[in-house]
Structure 1
Amino acid sequence: MAIFSTEKEVKRDVTPTIIGNRDSITGEIHAESDVLIDGKFKGDIYAKQSISVIAGGCVEGNFHADKVIVSGKVTGMVRANQVVIKGGGLIEGEIAYRILIIEENGALEGKCALLKQNVLAEDAKEA
């Protein structure tokens, strides 16, 4: 069975973390993958990739990620290289970003600050 010793390990994609539309979770998430929120979440999220809050999603807490996309509602502090607030999306609180995009009918109520360097997951906390 020499074939098994010469085969390379199959590289698997990282499965995203999903909070469904009927889910309500409180706690802290440390993710290597994308995080998708369609339900309710209260707590902090540290993601090495992106965090997306779908139109029905509602979050109360803090985000640290490479990219944050909001179509629902976020209350708290967002720290990311890129923040996108989609139409109908709302962030109430503070954001620190390198790139900020607010689409028509998207809203930000709070303070914002431009970051001078990239946000790394290690900068916030190890995921």
Structure 2
Amino acid sequence: MFGSKKAKLAPNGEIETIVGKDTQLKGALKAKGTIRIDGDFEGDIDSEHDIIIGESGSVSARINARNVMISGLMKGNIQATGCLELMASGRLYGDIKANVLIVGEGAVFKGASDMADGGNSASYQDEIVSV
């Protein structure tokens, strides 16, 4: 909706770390590869690649990654050097900084966005509910 390019998560199609649906995890998670969260996570997440929050995922964290795709619940601030994609089932409560923002129809986003545009940056206070 807000972007015309779809980001491809995990260039080689591999997910290296999975937090399962019935798993609860607290702390700091650092990885060089792609992380998928389908359970509950609280803390900090840093990845050199991508982070995927599945529909059953519930995350309360600070995230720093290349691309982030949210289909579940995310509470916290996100810094994505590439694309942040909020899927139709996704709910995001927090501030974001990303180069590309894609918000699916029906998604919920409440927070501030800061996006770079070819060296220029724009900052907005957004409250988008049920887009």
Structure 1-normalised TM-score?
0.78
Which of these two proteins has the greater Rg computed from alpha carbons? 1
CA deviation string 1:22-63 (max 9, x = no partner): 000000011011000000000111001100000010000111
Decide whether the 8 Å contact of 1:33 with 1:47 is kept in 2: yes
Structure 2: distance between partners of 1:44 and 1:24: 14
**Offset, 1:115:** 3.2
Structure 2: distance between partners of 1:105 and 1:15: 27
**Offset, 1:107:** 1.7
| Stretches of structure 2 lacking an aligned partner (at least 5 in a row) | 1-12, 120-131
C-alpha change, 1:105 and 1:14, in structure 2 (3 Å) is: closer
Decide whether the 8 Å contact of 2:69 with 2:87 is kept in 1: yes
After superposing on structure 2, the runs of 4+ consecutive aligned residues of structure 1 that deviate more than 6 Å are none
Decide whether the 8 Å contact of 1:75 with 1:92 is kept in 2: yes
**Offset, 1:14:** 7.3
Structure 2: distance between partners of 1:74 and 1:15: 19
The one-letter code sitting in structure 2 at the alignment partner of 1:84 is E
Deviates more, 1:47-56 or 1:106-115: 106-115
| Residue 3 of structure 2 is aligned to residue 34 of structure 1 | no
The one-letter code sitting in structure 1 at the alignment partner of 2:28 is E
Decide whether the 8 Å contact of 1:78 with 1:96 is kept in 2: yes
Decide whether the 8 Å contact of 1:14 with 1:32 is kept in 2: no
> How many residues were matched structurally?
105
Alignment-derived partner of residue 64 in structure 1: 64
Structure 2-normalised TM-score?
0.76
What's the C-alpha RMSD, in Å, of the aligned pairs? 1.6
CA deviation string 1:67-125 (max 9, x = no partner): 000000000001002100001101101000100000111121111111366xxxxxxxx
| Residue 88 of structure 2 is aligned to residue 87 of structure 1 | yes
The sequence identity of aligned pairs, in percent, is 27
C-alpha change, 1:82 and 1:15, in structure 2 (3 Å) is: closer
Structure 2: distance between partners of 1:15 and 1:105: 27
For 1:1-127, list aligned pairs within 5 A.
16-80=16-80, 81-115=82-116
| Stretches of structure 1 lacking an aligned partner (at least 5 in a row) | 1-12, 118-127
